[in-house]
């Protein structure tokens, strides 16, 4: 791959049935390895609060920290589309969201931003979209709401909640979301969401039929020490280097051999 992947390139991948390989990245060194391995989207996830900073959740991560890590990742990247997470309380109003997303794009050189939430963030998504900022929505398990859930749990298991997530997905696309990350939901709900949205859907614990997959880099390399969710596979355990593990992940996503049945929820 010689060219930088753009939003229209990502849309074309979906249209052509090519699966999108996405991984989190937090620094230039790993970004270079991911780039060379052919990762399509690097997500500068606010998961850095847990895996890099050792915090208990993603909530303490600040916009300054996200800008710093996004800039580091951009330095190591040549081809991938860089998505930067908007951290907790950095998009409480549409005005605040535009200002902070602007920093991630101008200072961090992100190509787009990701934010968690459903219909309650529609005015924000719409404002970002009108400002020319590519937006990735995030539904299902929302790690920034962990204190409301009381833990990290599969979402959308009961019919009422499932319907609400489907309506959220529809509304977010209508408001201008360009992509959707779907985290930790039953496979059947993913299928229903894929039927109502036209934007690319990137799954994490959402089954194998999404348009792409994402994992937290430190989880799929076996660096994370605490108990991991069932949707994680350690790609380094069968590879002889970090680069080979990332290449194996990209190939597995592209060929549809990851995730397997055991990585999903019924």
Q: How many residues bind ligand KIV (CB under 6 A)?
A: 11
Residue from 24, 70, 124, 213 binding ligand KIV (CB under 6 A): 24
Q: Which stretch binds ligand KIV (CB under 6 A): 29-37, 39-47, 185-193, 244-252?
A: 39-47
86: left (phi over 0), alpha (psi -120 to 50) or beta: beta
Q: Which residue has the tokens 């190939």?
A: 251
Round to whole Å and give the CA distance between 142 and 3.
Answer: 33
Catalytic residue among 95, 107, 183, 262: 183
Task: Rank residues 137 and 204 by Cβ distance to ligand KIV and give the closer one.
Answer: 204
Q: Catalytic residue at 183?
A: yes
Q: What is the DSSP letter of 97?
A: H
CB of 254 within 8 A of CB of 19? Answer: yes
Examine residue 181 and tell whether it contacts ligand KIV (CB under 6 A): yes
Examine residue 73 and tell whether it contacts ligand KIV (CB under 6 A): no
Examine residue 47 and tell whether it contacts ligand KIV (CB under 6 A): yes
Examine residue 204 and tell whether it contacts ligand KIV (CB under 6 A): yes
Question: Long-range CB contacts (< 8 A, 24+ apart) of 97-101?
Answer: 97/124, 97/127, 97/128, 98/127, 98/128, 98/131, 98/133, 100/63, 101/128, 101/131, 101/133
Q: What is the DSSP letter of 133?
A: -
Contact characters 82-111, ligand KIV, x per CB under 6 A: ---x--------------------------
Examine residue 216 and tell whether it contacts ligand KIV (CB under 6 A): yes
Round to whole Å and give the CA distance between 257 and 251.
Answer: 8
Examine residue 264 and tell whether it contacts ligand KIV (CB under 6 A): no
Round to whole Å and give the CA distance between 65 and 204.
Answer: 24
Cβ atoms within 10 Å, residue 233? 20
Task: Rank residues 85 and 168 by Cβ distance to ligand KIV and give the closer one.
Answer: 85
Examine residue 63 and tell whether it contacts ligand KIV (CB under 6 A): no
Shortest CB 3 distance to ligand KIV, Å: 25
Residue from 31, 67, 137, 214 binding ligand KIV (CB under 6 A): 214
Binding site for ligand KIV (CB under 6 A): 24, 43, 45-47, 85, 181, 183, 204, 214, 216
Active site residues: 183
């Amino acid at each position: 791959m010689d060219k930088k992947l753009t939003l229209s390139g990502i849309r074309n991948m979906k249209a052509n049935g090519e699966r999108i390989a996405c991984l989190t990245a937090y620094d230039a060194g790993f970004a270079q390895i991911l780039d060379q391995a052919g990762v399509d989207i690097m997500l500068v996830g606010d998961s850095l609060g847990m895996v890099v900073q050792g915090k208990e959740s993603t909530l303490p991560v600040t916009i300054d920290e996200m800008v710093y890590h996004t800039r580091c990742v951009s330095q190591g990247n040549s081809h991938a589309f860089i998505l930067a997470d908007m951290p907790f309380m950095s998009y409480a109003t549409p005005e605040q969201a535009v200002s902070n997303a602007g920093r991630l794009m101008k200072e961090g050189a992100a190509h787009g931003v990701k934010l968690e939430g459903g219909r309650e963030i529609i005015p924000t998504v719409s404002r970002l979209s009108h400002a020319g900022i590519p937006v990735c929505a995030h539904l299902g398990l929302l790690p920034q709401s962990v204190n409301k859930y009381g833990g990290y749990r599969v979402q959308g298991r009961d019919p009422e909640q499932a319907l609400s997530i489907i309506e959220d997905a529809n509304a977010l696309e209508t408001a201008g979301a360009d992509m959707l990350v779907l985290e930790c939901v039953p496979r059947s709900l993913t299928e229903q969401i894929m039927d109502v949205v036209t934007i690319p859907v990137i799954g994490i614990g959402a089954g194998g039929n999404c348009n792409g997959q994402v994992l937290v880099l430190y989880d799929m390399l076996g660096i994370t020490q605490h108990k991991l969710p069932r949707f994680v596979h350690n790609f380094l355990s069968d590879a002889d280097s970090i680069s080979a593990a990332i290449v194996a992940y990209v190939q597995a996503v592209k060929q549809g051999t990851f995730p397997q049945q055991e990585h999903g929820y019924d």
